[in-house]
């Protein structure tokens, strides 16, 4: 792929903006509260993700400290414990991973990569972000108000109905999902409209960078899944406040119906969180191997297949909810099918590296770490997909280890790969390579030490969402808690890296990664100007 972009005169974002915009440089309020610029909104999303990650991470440190020893007394109230685990799950998913990967990197780089001047609906874009920010206030209210919303992030009734979770906290948590959901839905519509309609001349669908494909598939998943969540959450709110009984057995309702609706959203949500990371990893691997992606078409179709099959496997979360034997077999087999396109992606990444000239810069370390740890998480996923084994492993720490391997390592490593890959393009300043590597290795050790022993705890039968446990589980819990302290210290290194980036005086060239980086964002200056393209780029 080759391209031309008329960027030689656009040296600095604001100079270019003032020179060509014909209107005054926006003030703080106008720029950040009423923004319609995809980069500014992307920055807002990344800021939101940063706040979300710090909050959710702090909650997980509290949890691991409580679990460090049996009969510990950091959290003495079961209600507080349940509020913390609920908020940790919701915040990490809706206010860290999604805003970082979709709202943040998606907003920043999808228009740039397809040669579009901005998102299709800039005001809608602004609205999406502020719905999400409001949602964060709601979810924090749910955590802090009264005894807190404590039904777990899966929100299963009857525990969160009016009888067993009285008080406003649970309503706040439910409405926070509505707000995050509307935000994601509007964002998804925006991405679909942008990608389908605003590609530069010559940027055909099958020339489009894989990150844009990942975001496109993700947006379709959101478009189809979020309304189902919204319906389920609305029914819960109705049950709580207006006397309906959608999920109340006493009124003819069914708690299992909620599980079906929730996981019809919840399973695609898993791919919503990981597909954008797949996209980022593809770019990073290709850039630092100095090779084009191996099997581009296979990569695209693998993502489409994963997205499609992701919609028909939801009841594998419900193997022990009393679904029929035939349903258990169908959902097991359908789930296992997903391993095939996922394997295509993993092998294609390795084949991309094969024959390359690999440079182990920080983003590449995160990407390689992503691939290997995601394979481990995928392997335990194949184990958990067995309905017969799920009868033993459901809801215990083996499951916790599994989904943290794909999220806390998979999605999070994807976020950091993207951060180190693009921070120069976003800020104009380089990150310190040494400290980036220190961050990677310390985080790698920390998360593995935290989550690998949890496999053992699960096999030994330790259930999830317990603030206290039988003394026999003390050993591995201690190791796991030490691991979480290492991850916490590693995050301090990341803060230092951030400080170094934003206090740096060095400015970067347009394409600071060199020959391996071939997508359009590398044709514009660093930092990318406020208006990316003054003229329409043409892709030949």
**36 vs 395 by CB, closer to other proteins:** 395
φ/ψ (deg, to 5) at 539: -100, 125
380 binds other proteins (CB under 8 A): yes
Beta-bridge partners for 104 = none
Kindly identify the residues of this chain, within the stretch 71-110, that bind other proteins according to CB under 8 A: 71, 76-79, 81-82, 85
514 binds other proteins (CB under 8 A): no
User: Rounded to whole angstroms, how far apart are CA atoms 440 and 365?
Assistant: 7
Contact range with other proteins by CB under 8 A, out of 203-211, 224-232, 338-346, 423-431:
338-346
Question: Annotated catalytic, 128?
Answer: no
Show the site string, 394-413: x = touches other proteins by CB under 8 A, - = not: xxx-----------------
At its nearest, how many Å lie between other proteins and the CB of residue 41? Answer: 34
CA neighbor of 240 nearest in space, from 183, 173, 180, 182: 173
The residue from 20, 197, 372, 536 that contacts other proteins (CB under 8 A) is 372
328 binds other proteins (CB under 8 A): yes
Show the site string, 244-273: x = touches other proteins by CB under 8 A, - = not: -----xx---xxx-----------------
Angle, CA 422 vertex, CA 293 and CA 375 arms, to 5° = 50
DSSP 179: H
344 binds other proteins (CB under 8 A): yes
How far lies 427's CA from each of 38, 39, 97, 142, in Å? 15, 11, 21, 35
333 binds other proteins (CB under 8 A): yes
Tokens of 180: 């995050």
Question: Annotated catalytic, 345?
Answer: yes
CA atoms within 13 A on the CB side of 218: 32
The residue from 34, 168, 340, 492 that contacts other proteins (CB under 8 A) is 340
**126 vs 289 by CB, closer to other proteins:** 289
281 binds other proteins (CB under 8 A): no
The residue from 150, 436, 446, 525 that contacts other proteins (CB under 8 A) is 150
Beta-bridge partners for 463 = 396
Question: Annotated catalytic, 526?
Answer: no
Please pick, among 38, 178, 328, 345, the residue that the annotation labels catalytic. 345
The residue from 130, 466, 496, 512 that contacts other proteins (CB under 8 A) is 466
How far lies 25's CA from each of 117, 239, 305, 428, 531, in Å? 19, 50, 45, 19, 13
The residue from 15, 336, 445, 498 that contacts other proteins (CB under 8 A) is 336
Please pick, among 290, 437, 464, 500, the residue that the annotation labels catalytic. 464
134 binds other proteins (CB under 8 A): no
**202 vs 295 by CB, closer to other proteins:** 295
332 binds other proteins (CB under 8 A): yes
User: Rounded to whole angstroms, how far apart are CA atoms 293 and 311?
Assistant: 27
At its nearest, how many Å lie between other proteins and the CB of residue 14? Answer: 37
467 binds other proteins (CB under 8 A): yes
Q: Concatenated DSSP letters for 210-235?
A: HHHHHHHHHHHHHHHHHHHHHHHHHH
Four-residue CA torsion sign, 287, 424, 107, 194: negative
Q: Concatenated DSSP letters for 464-485?
A: SS-SS--GGGHHHHHHHHHHHH
At its nearest, how many Å lie between other proteins and the CB of residue 294? Answer: 5
311 binds other proteins (CB under 8 A): no
User: Rounded to whole angstroms, how far apart are CA atoms 370 and 438?
Assistant: 16
Question: Annotated catalytic, 505?
Answer: no
Tokens of 60: 């997980």
Question: Annotated catalytic, 164?
Answer: no
φ/ψ (deg, to 5) at 396: -105, -175
Contact 310, 268 (CB under 8 A): yes
Helix, strand or coil, per DSSP, at residue 396:
strand
The residue from 26, 70, 231, 488 that contacts other proteins (CB under 8 A) is 70
At its nearest, how many Å lie between other proteins and the CB of residue 346? Answer: 6
At its nearest, how many Å lie between other proteins and the CB of residue 487? Answer: 22
The residue from 33, 123, 355, 499 that contacts other proteins (CB under 8 A) is 355
User: Rounded to whole angstroms, how far apart are CA atoms 279 and 421?
Assistant: 13
1 binds other proteins (CB under 8 A): no
445 binds other proteins (CB under 8 A): no
At its nearest, how many Å lie between other proteins and the CB of residue 316? Answer: 12
Contact 521, 5 (CB under 8 A): no
User: Rounded to whole angstroms, how far apart are CA atoms 250 and 211?
Assistant: 48
**387 vs 528 by CB, closer to other proteins:** 387
Question: Annotated catalytic, 6?
Answer: no
Please pick, among 55, 86, 184, 335, the residue that the annotation labels catalytic. 184
Cβ-based neighbours of 243, under 8 Å, separated by 6 or more = none
Contact range with other proteins by CB under 8 A, out of 55-63, 226-234, 275-283, 460-468:
460-468
How far lies 231's CA from each of 177, 252, 269, 288, 506, in Å? 11, 18, 15, 44, 50
Residues with a known catalytic role = 88, 118, 153, 183-184, 267, 269, 271, 282, 316-317, 342, 345, 464
């Amino acid at each position: 792929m080759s391209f031309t972009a008329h960027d030689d005169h656009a040296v600095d974002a604001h100079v270019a903006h003032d020179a060509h915009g014909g209107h005054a440089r926006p003030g703080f309020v106008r720029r950040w509260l009423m923004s319609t610029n995809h980069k500014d909104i992307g920055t807002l999303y990344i800021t939101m993700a940063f706040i979300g990650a710090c909050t959710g991470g702090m909650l997980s440190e509290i949890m691991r400290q409580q679990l460090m020893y049996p009969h510990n007394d950091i959290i003495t109230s079961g209600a507080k414990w349940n509020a913390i685990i609920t908020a940790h799950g919701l915040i990490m998913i809706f206010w860290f991973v999604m805003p970082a990967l979709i709202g943040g990197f998606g907003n920043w780089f999808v228009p740039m990569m397809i040669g579009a001047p901005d998102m299709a609906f800039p005001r809608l874009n602004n609205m999406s972000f502020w719905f999400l920010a409001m949602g964060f206030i709601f979810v924090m209210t749910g955590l802090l108000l009264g005894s807190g919303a404590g039904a777990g992030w899966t929100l299963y009734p009857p525990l969160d109905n009016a009888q067993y979770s009285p008080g406003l906290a649970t309503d706040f948590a439910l409405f926070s999902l509505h707000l995050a959901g509307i935000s994601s839905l509007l964002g998804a519509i925006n991405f679909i409209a942008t990608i389908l309609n605003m590609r530069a001349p010559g940027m055909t669908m099958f020339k489009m960078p894989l990150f844009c494909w990942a975001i496109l598939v993700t947006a379709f998943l959101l478009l189809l899944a979020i309304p189902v969540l919204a319906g389920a959450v609305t029914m819960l709110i109705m049950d709580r406040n207006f006397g309906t009984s959608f999920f109340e057995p006493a009124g003819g309702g069914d708690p299992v119906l909620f599980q079906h609706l929730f996981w019809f959203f919840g399973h695609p949500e898993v791919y919503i969180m990981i597909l954008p990371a797949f996209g980022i990893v593809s770019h990073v691997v290709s850039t630092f191997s100095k090779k084009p992606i191996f099997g581009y078409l296979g990569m695209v179709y693998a993502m489409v297949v994963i997205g499609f099959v992701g919609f028909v496997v939801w009841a594998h979360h419900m193997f022990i909810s009393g679904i029929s034997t035939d349903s258990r077999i169908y959902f097991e087999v359908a789930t296992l099918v997903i391993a095939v396109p996922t394997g295509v992606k993993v092998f294609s990444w390795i084949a991309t590296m094969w024959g390359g000239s690999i440079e182990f810069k920080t983003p590449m370390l995160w990407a390689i770490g992503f691939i290997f740890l995601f394979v481990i998480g995928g392997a335990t996923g194949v184990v958990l997909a067995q309905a017969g084994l799920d009868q033993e492993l459901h809801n215990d720490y083996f499951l916790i280890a599994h989904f943290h391997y794909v999220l806390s390592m998979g999605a999070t490593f994807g976020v950091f790969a993207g951060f180190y890959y693009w921070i120069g393009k976003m800020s104009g300043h380089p990150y310190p390579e040494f400290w980036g590597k220190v961050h990677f290795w310390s985080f790698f050790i920390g998360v593995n030490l935290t989550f690998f022993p949890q496999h053992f705890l699960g096999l030994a039968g330790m259930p999830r969402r317990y603030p206290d446990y039988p003394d026999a589980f003390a050993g591995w819990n201690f190791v796991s808690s030490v691991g979480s302290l290492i991850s916490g210290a590693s995050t301090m290194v990341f803060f230092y890296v951030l400080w170094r980036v934003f206090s740096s005086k060095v400015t970067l060239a347009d394409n600071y990664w060199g020959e391996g980086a071939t997508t359009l964002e590398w044709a514009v200056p660093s930092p990318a100007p406020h208006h990316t393209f003054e003229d329409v780029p043409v892709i030949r």
